[in-house]
């Protein structure tokens, strides 16, 4: 056990094993205790080979209980281990800071108490999405939102860029307790999106592969079919651009872009 407890939040990547960095693997091996959460047995088996001192946080999820309660219980368990003087690693799916409030909050609280607490980057689902779908997010532009936030708040959509909605299966869930898709909420999302996109616009249902031997999901459907589609906890909605980008000719003039420049030919 370490003299002073510390926390390192690491990302395991999405595809098990193949996306774990050497630094993260070494930190796993050196930990006094490794916290993780997964609803699959193969992650526990993989981590067991690196460090058998595991604590599975999955049981903190209780049916019908708001996820905020589960997250607080996880947070309390991790912080207690650090304040007890242990070298703690919190091993998170994907990137530890993406769609994951508890690691950020644990670092904030522990740092305020004078403990060493930091986060190591990991490969998140967006990196897999760009590779699997052949998308360069900087080429056409890319807007990304958590699907429920997209509904709850006023958003402006640029239809000349990609629009990516994460956790689409639980879009509209204000209870923070639901884990399954509700077709009535998905229909509301579909109608909301039709402010900007026609019903027949082709969208993509994407799921990264958890194992290297599996194939990712990239299912094209018309937007109007979204409420009838099979949506899982890891399904992401990818909406390709509706129209090309529009040149800002006034800005080209201000920048002094010459008449023979390719931007002037668009």
pLDDT of 257 strictly over 70: yes
Which CATH number do you get for residue 224?
3.30.950.10
Q: Are residues 115 and 131 in the same domain?
A: no
**67: pLDDT strictly greater than 90:** no
Q: Are residues 146 and 166 in the same domain?
A: yes
Are both 103 and 131 inside the same structural domain?
no
Q: Are residues 89 and 146 in the same domain?
A: no
| Residue among 30, 112, 37, 113 nearest 77 (CA) | 37
pLDDT at 147 over 90: yes
Percent of the chain, pLDDT > 90?
82
The one catalytic residue among 6, 42, 61, 71: 71
Does some domain include residue 220? yes
Check if 93 is active-site.
Answer: yes
What is residue 65's predicted lDDT score, i.e. its pLDDT?
78
Assigned domain for 168 exists: yes
Q: Answer yes or no: is 105 within a domain.
A: yes
Confidence of residue 63 (pLDDT cuts 50, 70, 90): confident
SS (H, E, C) the chain: CCCCCEEEEEECECCCCCCCCHHHHHHHHHCCEEEECCCCHHHHHHHHHHCCCEEECHHHCCCCCCHHHHHHHHHHHHHHHHHCCCEEEEEECECCCCCCHHHHHHHHHHHHCCCEEEECCCCCHHHHHHHHHCCCHHHHCEEEEEHHHHHHCCCCCCCCCEEEEECHHHCCCCCCCCCCCCHHHHHHHHHHHCCCCCCCCEEEEEECCCCCCCCCEEEEEEHHHHHHCCCCCCCEEEECCCCCCCCCHHHHHHHCCCCCCHHHHC
Confidence check: pLDDT of 4 > 90: no
7-16 tens-digit pLDDT: 999 999 999 9
Inside any domain, residue 24: yes
Q: What is the pLDDT of residues 216-237, one digit of tens each?
A: 999 999 999 999 999 999 999 9
Residue 202: exposure state from Cβ atoms within 10 A (0-12, 13-18, ≥19): exposed
**Average predicted confidence (pLDDT) for the chain:** 93
How many CB atoms are closer than 10 A to CB 55? 16
Query: Which tokens hold the place of 184?
Result: 């009535």
| Mean pLDDT, range 116-137, rounded to an integer | 97
In the predicted model, is pLDDT for residue 1 greater than 50? no
Catalytic residue among 93, 185, 197, 206: 93
Residues 174 and 84 both lie in one domain: no
Is the confidence at residue 2, as pLDDT, over 50? no
Which position has the higher pLDDT, 2 or 86?
86
- Tell me, what's the pLDDT at 178? 66
Residues 169-224: pLDDT tens digits? Answer: 999 888 765 667 788 999 999 999 999 999 999 999 999 999 989 999 999 999 99
Confidence of residue 162 (pLDDT cuts 50, 70, 90): very high
Q: Supply the range of the domain harboring residue 129.
A: 125-239
Please tell me the total count of domains within the chain.
2
Q: State the catalytic residue, choosing from 25, 61, 67, 243.
A: 67
Instruction: Tell the residue number behind the tokens 């959509």, with chain if given.
Output: 157
CATH assignment of the domain containing 18? 3.40.1010.10
Domain boundary among 95, 119, 143: 119
Quote the Cα angle for 184-162-171, to 5°: 20
Are 113 and 136 contained in the same domain? no
pLDDT at position 175 is 74
Does the pLDDT at position 44 exceed 60? yes
Active site residue 185: no
- Residues 29 and 94: their CA atoms lie apart, in Å, by 19
Q: What percent of the chain has pLDDT over 70?
A: 97
**Annotated catalytic residue 153:** no
Q: Are residues 85 and 168 in the same domain?
A: no
């Amino acid at each position: 056990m370490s003299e002073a407890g510390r926390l390192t939040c690491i990302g395991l990547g999405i595809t098990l094993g193949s996306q774990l960095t050497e630094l993260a693997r070494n930190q796993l091996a050196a930990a006094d205790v490794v916290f993780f959460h997964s609803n699959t047995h193969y992650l526990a088996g993989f981590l067991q080979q690196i460090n058998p001192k595991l604590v599975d946080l999955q049981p903190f999820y209780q049916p019908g209980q708001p996820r905020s309660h589960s997250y607080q219980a996880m947070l309390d368990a991790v912080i207690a281990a650090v304040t007890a003087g242990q070298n703690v690693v919190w091993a998170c799916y994907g990137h530890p800071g993406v769609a994951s409030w508890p690691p950020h909050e644990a670092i904030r609280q522990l740092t305020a108490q004078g403990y060493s607490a930091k986060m190591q980057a990991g490969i998140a689902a967006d990196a897999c999405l760009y590779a699997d779908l052949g998308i360069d997010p900087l080429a056409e532009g890319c807007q990304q939102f958590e699907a429920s936030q997209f509904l709850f708040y006023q958003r402006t959509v640029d239809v000349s860029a990609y629009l990516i909605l994460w956790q689409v299966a639980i879009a509209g869930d204000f209870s923070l307790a639901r884990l399954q898709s509700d077709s009535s909420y998905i229909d509301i999302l579909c109608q909301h999106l039709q402010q900007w996109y026609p019903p027949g616009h082709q969208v993509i249902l994407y799921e990264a592969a958890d194992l290297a031997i599996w194939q990712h999901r990239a299912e094209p459907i018309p937007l109007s079919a979204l409420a009838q589609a099979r949506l899982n906890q890891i399904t992401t909605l990818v909406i390709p651009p509706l129209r090309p980008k529009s040149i800002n000719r006034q800005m080209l003039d201000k920048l002094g872009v010459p008449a023979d420049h390719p931007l002037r030919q668009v």
